[in-house]
């Protein structure tokens, strides 16, 4: 279809408007509530693309996809003799539209016919300016755009020269795309090839344009690809090099240019990779968050550039064409609903929160999002959903947690909209998002009521504290005045006004979600107030008020409340411990359970603890600070119990180290039959305790699963600081807390859990390392390395298996603990290497000539962990290979010298008693070139007659076990 991109004119009229310049700030005067730092939750790009770059790229995509479904030309050439090859008419030319013009060429409808506006509850403005009719639109250009294409160009602030150039390039591209759809095209690549420096006004503009398209390719194919990149992918490495070089020095983009061919090859190789769902599409702009940011730019065009709180009248036609970009951007209806919700909400905030239609439209869209959230479990969508809702809820709660300061009778309807939006967001988060929010016992939690209850308590506490401070200030100011007004009277008046204001202004709004939107008074507070009043009234009586006090027996509310709360705490903690027992029995430690690679049960127990703390501080009691230590100590023990139970049965370092065989001397020139191997295996099975023996066939104790446990301990440890800070925040908001209760945050600590987590990480890190080397790889270490002839049984198979396991660790373990496990694996590998050399059984023997093989193999082992500088630091490798480096020179030392050195160090160790007969030194397992047992073992595995005779004569060692 040569006409695929032909006649891409979007129907520009004679009075084509020039878009006004970009506005850096909203034209609406921001109110005191305007948020200036509301970041987009749709994701931040790792590339250096600016908003202008994204806007231009989004327009490129829009132009490319906007063609009729019947494959007719996008628009007809107006006056072939007076227009350019795309049928683009300059403002001075006539524009007589062809009767066969496609949808984009049709006249725009009026706002009265807008189904979308009616669905969103948006009113049609009576006298609002249209795009192109305001300041900056150009002299004499007061008419509104007459076509969708003209409207879109103006809304996106695209200059006519840029629009014309892009459409000219698309026409050139179209000739080579016969029979292909636009989603099979990598648009930036094709634009780079079709446009030359001569198409631009100057070199600087061309260079900027080329860099923008290269950065788009980098963002879409390397930084945010739809299909995850393999680290070894050659095309990605090639493309990265090309782009980085081109950003410094522009590349030649001619069709037959070599650099362009290399670029095309790398781009198409990456863009053609499929995740199975869009096999015939090119994936260059459909990876998250690039596609969401581009789509956000397109959705922003629904707002009038001359009145930023208003949706354009022609929104139906505009949205119809925006949705055509879905095939390129990988957008679906669910993502559209979520993005449009955010765009509406953000516009309401950014323009000063003055247009309530936008807020209610966002709330209406959120109802659609709620339906989507219940219908899908797509993890990528859930992540964006969670981010968006958290941002919306966070913004709303900053206002609602102190609504007395934020709202008054003048903006109460704004409060109603914000409450509705916040509650809707909270309900989706609690009921439909990930397990971090989802409740196990649905139906027992009334999300709306809980949130409103929190807002009421928080705001009233703040408001009451302000009035207390005001009353105290008045007392201090009037204490030297004659007949000062009692502070109790001032406070009574203020609290009375607060209650009336709450009842008349806020309760009618809040009771829609909370039937008991009122102020609760604690029994002990009331009792103390009454006693104080009675004492003050009776202070001048003969007995000083003692009689009246005796007539008021104390209820001792604090003691009663404390006992009730302690019972509540015990019940919660007992249930939590039962939960740990039950859930850890079901936990499978699946590395794919979530993106961070830790156990869902850890997320759940942290959520339960967080809820328990929230519930504790919401209890209507005056003694939170006094009872908090009991609660924290109990939660601390529960978390410690979780960690201890999670690591039980995983084994330790010593679980996997085999028992050393008895010493033998080398059988010169014999063929080794592997007698020791069978013996060693039976000894190992006896060495390992029954608990670990039963776990070997259990997937929950595999290397990936052990790594998940390590991640889980690290996660819990890192969350302790968060919980402790949250507790301090709770105390600061607690009416009954004093300065000393929260001024020293260090005193509010979890003491048992952090150390249990650190110990658990350390223990399991060593267990993973020694399990890999001595258990999982025993077939290549014990049964293979240097068995028989060393030159034919070298270390390469072991290195391959080690590398495979290191990759599993790297992909599974959190980066903060990854180095520790890899270091422990190197330590275990060095220990295994030495154990083969010094305790490998009679199936192994080494001549002095084999020493070079051994040293080369050990260097290869170190190189594996060095990884050309990407692995462990060199000083760490040197530190943990110190013992091996000390022992290896013994293997190239002649037997006579070894025997003489052995005699000398034995005499030094045992004294004169060893002169008549050399004692057999015990095996400590602590190898050292100056230690008798190490020297003796080198001799035991020395394949020569001198060593064998010495061992026979001195210790009568056998040749076989």
Higher pLDDT, 865 or 505: 865
pLDDT at res. 411: 87
Q: What is the DSSP letter of 278?
A: -
Chain centroid to CA 248: 32
Cα angle, residue 646 at apex, residues 645 and 648 outer, rounded to 5°:
65
The answer to whether the beta carbons of residues 343 and 296 sit under 8 Å apart is yes
State yes or no: pLDDT of 465 exceeds 90.
no
Mean pLDDT of the region 68-77:
34
State yes or no: pLDDT of 957 exceeds 60.
yes
pLDDT at res. 19: 40
Q: Which of 822, 912, 909 is nearest to 867 (CA)?
A: 822
Residue 30: strand, helix, or coil: coil
- DSSP string covering 539-571: TTSTTTTHHHHHTS----HHHHHHHHHHHHHHH
Q: How far apart are CA 803 and CA 825, in angstroms?
A: 11
Burial 35-45 (b: 16+ CB within 10 A, else e): eeebebbbbeb
The answer to whether the beta carbons of residues 14 and 141 sit under 8 Å apart is no
CB atoms within 10 A of CB 726: 16
Higher pLDDT, 636 or 132: 636
How confident is residue 317, by pLDDT bands cut at 50, 70 and 90? confident
pLDDT at res. 535: 66
Beta bridge partners of 359: none
The answer to whether the beta carbons of residues 17 and 141 sit under 8 Å apart is yes
Ordered by start, the domain boundaries in the chain are 1-34+55-90+105-177+304-323, 357-520, 565-830
Mean pLDDT of the region 528-553:
62
Give me the residue label for tokens 């060893």: 914
Q: Which of 649, 646, 650 is nearest to 601 (CA)?
A: 646
How confident is residue 833, by pLDDT bands cut at 50, 70 and 90? very high
pLDDT at res. 313: 85
State yes or no: pLDDT of 190 exceeds 80.
yes
pLDDT at res. 689: 38
CB atoms within 10 A of CB 565: 19
CB neighbour list of residue 75: distance below 8 Å, 6 or more residues apart: 7, 8, 9, 10, 11, 87, 97, 98, 101, 102, 104, 105, 149
Q: Is 707 exposed, middle or buried (0-12, 13-18, 19+ CB in 10 A)?
A: buried
Assess whether the previous peptide bond of 326 is cis (omega < 30° from 0): no
CB atoms within 10 A of CB 831: 21
Q: How far apart are CA 619 and CA 281, in angstroms?
A: 57
- The token pair that represents 74 in the structure block: 């996008």
- The token pair that represents 789 in the structure block: 């002839």
Lowest-pLDDT choice from 53-67, 563-577, 672-686 = 672-686
pLDDT at res. 851: 95
Higher pLDDT, 556 or 210: 210
pLDDT at res. 295: 95
State yes or no: pLDDT of 813 exceeds 80.
yes
pLDDT at res. 337: 94
CB neighbour list of residue 482: distance below 8 Å, 6 or more residues apart: none
How confident is residue 515, by pLDDT bands cut at 50, 70 and 90? low
Top mean pLDDT of 21-35, 253-267, 338-352, 519-533 is at 338-352
Q: Is 433 exposed, middle or buried (0-12, 13-18, 19+ CB in 10 A)?
A: middle
Q: How far apart are CA 360 and CA 453, in angstroms?
A: 23
Q: How far apart are CA 233 and CA 489, in angstroms?
A: 78
pLDDT at res. 3: 35
The torsion angle over the Cα atoms of residues 98, 100, 104 and 107, rounded to 10 degrees, is: 60
Residue 311: strand, helix, or coil: strand
* pLDDT one-digit tens code per residue, 888-926: 999 999 999 999 999 999 888 887 776 778 888 888 888
Lowest-pLDDT choice from 395-409, 638-652, 696-710, 845-859 = 696-710
Give me the residue label for tokens 């170190």: 862
State yes or no: pLDDT of 480 exceeds 50.
yes
State yes or no: pLDDT of 793 exceeds 80.
yes
State yes or no: pLDDT of 497 exceeds 80.
no
pLDDT at res. 717: 95
CB atoms within 10 A of CB 128: 16
Residue 712: strand, helix, or coil: helix
- The token pair that represents 162 in the structure block: 């840029």
State pTM to two decimals. Answer: 0.51
Cα angle, residue 242 at apex, residues 238 and 245 outer, rounded to 5°:
140
Higher pLDDT, 961 or 166: 166
* pLDDT one-digit tens code per residue, 199-247: 899 999 999 999 999 999 999 999 999 888 887 788 888 998 988 888 8
Q: Which of 3, 14, 160 is nearest to 67 (CA)?
A: 3
Lowest-pLDDT choice from 1-10, 180-189, 861-870 = 1-10
Mean pLDDT of the region 732-753:
67
Q: How far apart are CA 320 and CA 115, in angstroms?
A: 12
Beta bridge partners of 311: 303
| Average pLDDT value for the chain | 79
Beta bridge partners of 107: 147
Q: Which of 149, 144, 167 is nearest to 104 (CA)?
A: 149
Q: How far apart are CA 427 and CA 907, in angstroms?
A: 80
Distances (CA, A) of 427 to 400, 448, 605, 664: 16, 7, 21, 73
CB atoms within 10 A of CB 815: 8
Mean pLDDT of the region 650-658:
90
Distances (CA, A) of 745 to 54, 618, 729, 741, 742: 45, 20, 10, 8, 6
State yes or no: pLDDT of 444 exceeds 60.
no
pLDDT at res. 578: 93
* pLDDT one-digit tens code per residue, 92-125: 333 333 333 344 444 455 444 467 777 777 765 4
The answer to whether the beta carbons of residues 621 and 568 sit under 8 Å apart is no
State yes or no: pLDDT of 320 exceeds 80.
yes
Cα angle, residue 484 at apex, residues 481 and 488 outer, rounded to 5°:
150
* pLDDT one-digit tens code per residue, 685-712: 434 433 343 344 457 789 999 999 999 9
Beta bridge partners of 846: 942
State yes or no: pLDDT of 37 exceeds 70.
no
Q: At what angle do helices 447-478 and 487-501 cross, to 10 degrees?
A: 150
Chain centroid to CA 904: 62
Q: How far apart are CA 866 and CA 810, in angstroms?
A: 14
Q: How far apart are CA 710 and CA 821, in angstroms?
A: 9
State yes or no: pLDDT of 747 exceeds 70.
no
State yes or no: pLDDT of 846 exceeds 50.
yes
Give me the residue label for tokens 């524009």: 95
Q: At what angle do helices 945-955 and 895-910 cross, to 10 degrees?
A: 30
pLDDT at res. 117: 72
The answer to whether the beta carbons of residues 154 and 145 sit under 8 Å apart is yes
Lowest-pLDDT choice from 45-59, 352-366, 492-506, 878-892 = 492-506
How confident is residue 48, by pLDDT bands cut at 50, 70 and 90? confident
Q: What is the percent of the chain where pLDDT is above 70?
A: 74
Phi, psi of 741 (to 5 degrees): -75, -25
State yes or no: pLDDT of 795 exceeds 60.
yes
CB neighbour list of residue 280: distance below 8 Å, 6 or more residues apart: 183, 184
pLDDT at res. 938: 95
pLDDT at res. 691: 35
State yes or no: pLDDT of 598 exceeds 80.
yes
* pLDDT one-digit tens code per residue, 117-156: 777 777 654 444 455 554 434 433 446 677 788 889 999 9
Q: Which long-range contacts (CB under 8 A, 24 or more apart) does 626-634 make?
A: 626/562, 627/562, 627/565, 627/566, 627/569, 628/727, 628/731, 628/748, 630/566, 630/569, 631/569, 632/727, 632/748, 632/750, 634/569, 634/570, 634/572, 634/573
* pLDDT one-digit tens code per residue, 3-32: 333 333 333 333 333 344 333 333 333 333
């Amino acid at each position: 279809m040569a006409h695929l991109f032909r006649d891409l004119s979007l129907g520009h009229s004679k009075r084509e408007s020039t878009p006004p310049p970009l506005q850096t700030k909203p034209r609406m005067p921001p109110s005191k509530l305007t948020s200036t730092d509301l970041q987009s939750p749709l994701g931040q790009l790792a590339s250096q693309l600016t908003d202008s770059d994204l806007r231009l790229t989004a327009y490129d995509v829009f132009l490319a996809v906007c063609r009729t479904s019947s494959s007719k030309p996008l628009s007809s050439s107006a006056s072939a003799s007076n227009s350019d090859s795309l049928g683009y008419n300059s403002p001075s030319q006539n524009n007589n539209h062809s009767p066969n013009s496609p949808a984009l060429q049709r006249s725009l409808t009026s706002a009265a016919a807008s189904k979308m506006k009616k669905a969103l509850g948006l009113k049609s403005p009576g006298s609002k300016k249209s795009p192109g009719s305001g300041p900056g639109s150009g002299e004499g250009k007061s008419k509104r755009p007459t076509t969708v294409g003209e409207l879109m160009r103006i809304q996106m602030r695209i200059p006519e020269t840029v629009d014309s150039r892009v459409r000219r390039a698309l026409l050139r591209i179209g000739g080579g795309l016969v029979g292909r759809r636009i989603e099979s095209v990598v648009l930036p690549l094709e634009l780079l090839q079709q446009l030359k420096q001569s198409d631009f006004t100057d070199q600087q503009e061309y260079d900027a344009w080329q860099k923008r398209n290269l950065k788009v390719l980098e963002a879409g194919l390397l930084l945010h690809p739809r299909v995850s990149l393999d680290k070894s992918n050659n095309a990605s490495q090639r493309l990265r090099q090309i782009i980085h070089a081109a950003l410094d020095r522009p590349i030649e983009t001619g069709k037959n240019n070599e650099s362009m061919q290399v670029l095309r090859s790398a781009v198409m190789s990456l863009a053609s990779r499929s995740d199975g769902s869009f096999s015939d599409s090119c994936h260059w702009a459909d990876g998250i968050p690039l596609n969401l940011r581009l789509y956000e730019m397109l959705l922003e065009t629904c707002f009038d550039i001359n009145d930023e709180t208003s949706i354009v009248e022609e929104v139906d036609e505009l949205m119809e064409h925006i949705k055509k970009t879905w095939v390129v951007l990988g957008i679906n209806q669910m993502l559209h609903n979520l993005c449009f919700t955010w765009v509406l909400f953000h516009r309401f905030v950014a323009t000063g929160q003055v247009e309530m239609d936008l807020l209610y439209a966002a709330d209406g869209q959120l109802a659609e999002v709620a339906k989507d959230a219940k219908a899908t479990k797509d993890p990528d969508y859930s992540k964006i959903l969670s981010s968006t809702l958290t941002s919306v809820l966070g913004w709303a709660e900053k206002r609602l947690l102190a609504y007395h300061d934020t709202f008054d009778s003048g903006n109460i309807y704004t409060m109603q909209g914000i409450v509705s939006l916040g509650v809707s967001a909270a309900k989706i988060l609690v009921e439909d998002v990930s397990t971090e929010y989802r409740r196990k016992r649905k139906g027992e939690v009334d999300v709306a009521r809980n949130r409103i209850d929190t807002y009421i308590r928080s705001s009233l506490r703040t408001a009451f504290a302000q009035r207390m401070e005001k009353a105290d200030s008045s007392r201090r100011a009037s204490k030297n005045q004659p007949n000062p007004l009692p502070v109790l009277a001032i406070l009574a008046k203020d609290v009375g006004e607060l209650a009336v204001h709450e009842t008349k202004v806020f309760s009618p709004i809040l009771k829609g979600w909370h039937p008991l939107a009122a102020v609760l008074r604690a029994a002990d507070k009331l009792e103390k107030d009454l006693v104080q009043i009675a004492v003050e009234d009776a202070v001048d009586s003969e007995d000083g008020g003692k009689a009246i006090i005796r007539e008021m027996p104390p209820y001792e509310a604090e003691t009663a409340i404390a006992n009730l709360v302690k019972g509540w705490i015990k019940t919660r903690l007992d249930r939590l411990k039962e939960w740990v027992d039950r859930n850890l029995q079901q936990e499978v430690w699946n590395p794919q359970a979530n993106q961070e690679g830790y156990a869902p049960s850890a997320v759940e127990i942290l959520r339960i603890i967080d809820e328990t703390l929230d519930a504790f501080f919401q209890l209507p009691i005056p003694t939170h600070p006094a009872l908090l230590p009991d609660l924290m100590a109990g939660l601390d023990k529960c978390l410690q119990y979780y960690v201890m139970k999670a690591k039980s049965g995983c084994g330790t370092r010593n679980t996997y180290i085999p028992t050393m065989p008895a010493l033998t001397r080398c059988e010169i020139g014999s063929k080794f039959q592997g007698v020791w191997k069978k013996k060693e295996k039976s000894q190992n099975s006896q060495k390992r305790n029954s608990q670990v023996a039963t776990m070997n066939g259990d997937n929950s104790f595999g290397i990936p699963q052990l790594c998940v446990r390590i991640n889980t301990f690290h996660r819990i440890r890192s969350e302790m600081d968060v919980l402790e800070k949250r507790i301090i925040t709770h105390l600061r908001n607690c009416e009954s807390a004093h300065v000393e209760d929260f001024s020293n945050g260090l005193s509010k600590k979890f003491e048992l859990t952090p150390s249990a987590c650190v110990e658990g990480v350390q223990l399991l890190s060593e267990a993973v390392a020694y399990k890999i080397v001595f258990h999982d790889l025993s077939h290549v270490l014990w049964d293979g390395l240097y068995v028989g002839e060393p030159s034919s049984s070298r270390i390469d198979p072991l290195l391959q298996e080690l590398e495979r396991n290191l990759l599993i660790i790297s992909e599974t373990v959190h980066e903060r603990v990854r180095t520790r496990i890899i270091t422990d694996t190197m330590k275990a590998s060095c220990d295994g290497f030495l154990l083969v050399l010094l305790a490998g059984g009679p199936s192994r023997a080494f001549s002095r000539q084999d020493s070079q093989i051994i040293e080369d193999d050990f260097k290869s082992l170190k190189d594996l962990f060095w990884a050309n500088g990407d692995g462990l630091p060199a000083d760490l490798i040197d530190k943990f290979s110190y013992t091996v480096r000390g022992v290896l020179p013994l293997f190239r030392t002649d037997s006579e010298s070894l025997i003489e050195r052995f005699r000398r160090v034995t005499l030094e160790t045992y004294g004169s008693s060893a002169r008549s007969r050399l004692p057999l030194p015990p095996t400590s397992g602590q190898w050292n070139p100056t230690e008798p047992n190490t020297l003796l073992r080198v001799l035991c595995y020395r394949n020569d007659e001198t060593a064998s005779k010495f061992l026979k004569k001195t210790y009568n060692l056998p040749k076989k076990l």
